[in-house]
Structure 1
Amino acid sequence: MASPNKIYFMRIVLGIIGGVIAGIVIAPEFDQGTSVGIAFGIAVLLFAVSIGVSRAMSKGLPKEMQKKAGYDGIVPFIFMNIVFMVIVYTALHQDAILK
């Protein structure tokens, strides 16, 4: 049995991981559509994993809290994903960005 706080922070960590992966995978040579598709695909995949993990973590909680745990923390997940993707991409490819 996990508290809703653990699920919330697990989503934040997965958002950071997804952002780092997307920042590393996306190359400056990719066009905008490909870059957005890769970033979106990674985010959707990790969020789907987080839904499964959160449902498993919330087994002992009341039914209402189990339903909420499925999507609790979606905003910080998205925010951390975007922020870390931009930070990692910029750190890795700043020579191509500054041209």
Structure 2
Amino acid sequence: MALEKVYYMRLVLGIIAGVIAGVAIAPGTDQGTAIGLALGIAVAFFVISVIIGRSLAKGQPKEVQKKAGYDGLVPFIFMNLLAMIIVYTALHQSTILK
């Protein structure tokens, strides 16, 4: 039960981090800065999710607690990228299509 909550919590936090990154990156931003900003936001949200995941798994066996630390990593990454691309494209569509 705790691992399901961690999995979906990471999925939602990945979407939130992607939306924030999509809004934060402006069209004129150079590539290095944009990548650093996107990765920084993603890492910050992932650290928050690790802390929340471990607190959700308290009272569970040690194996479950260890797995809760990194369960849902792949959905976090994909939802982060998906949300970032969709939000950035939606906000800056006029500058992209020039």
For normalisation by structure 1, the TM-score amounts to 0.97
Q: Is 1:90 aligned with 2:94?
A: no
**CA offsets 1:14-49 (integer angstroms, 9 cap, x no match):** 000000000000000101111000000000000000
- Give the count of matched residue pairs: 98
- The alpha carbon displacement at 1:60 in A equals 1.3
Match of 2:34 in 1: 35
CA distance in 2, matches of 1:41, 1:3: 27
- Runs of 4+ aligned structure 1 residues displaced above 4 Å come to none
> What is the distance in 1 between the residues matched to 2:77 and 2:33?
19
User: Which residue in the other structure is 1:24 paired with?
Assistant: 23
3-state secondary structure, aligned to 2:70: coil
* Structure 1 gap segments, 5+ residues each: none
1:3 Cα deviation after fit: 1.6
Q: Which residue of 2 aligns with 1:53?
A: 52
1:69 aligned partner: 68
How far did residue 83 of structure 1 move? 0.2
Cα distance between partner residues in 2 of 1:9 and 1:87: 20
Give the Cα–Cα distance (whole angstroms) in 1 for the partners of residues 4 and 90 of structure 2: 31
Corresponding letter in the other structure for 1:54 = G
Q: Distance in 1 between matches of 2:12 and 2:59?
A: 23
Q: What do residues 44-79 of structure 1 show as CA deviations (whole Å, max 9, x unaligned)?
A: 000000000001110011111100100000000000
RMSD across aligned C-alpha pairs, in angstroms?
0.7
Could you state the TM-score of these two structures normalised by the residue count of structure 2? 0.98
Identity percentage of aligned residues: 63
Distance 2:93 2:34 in 1: 16
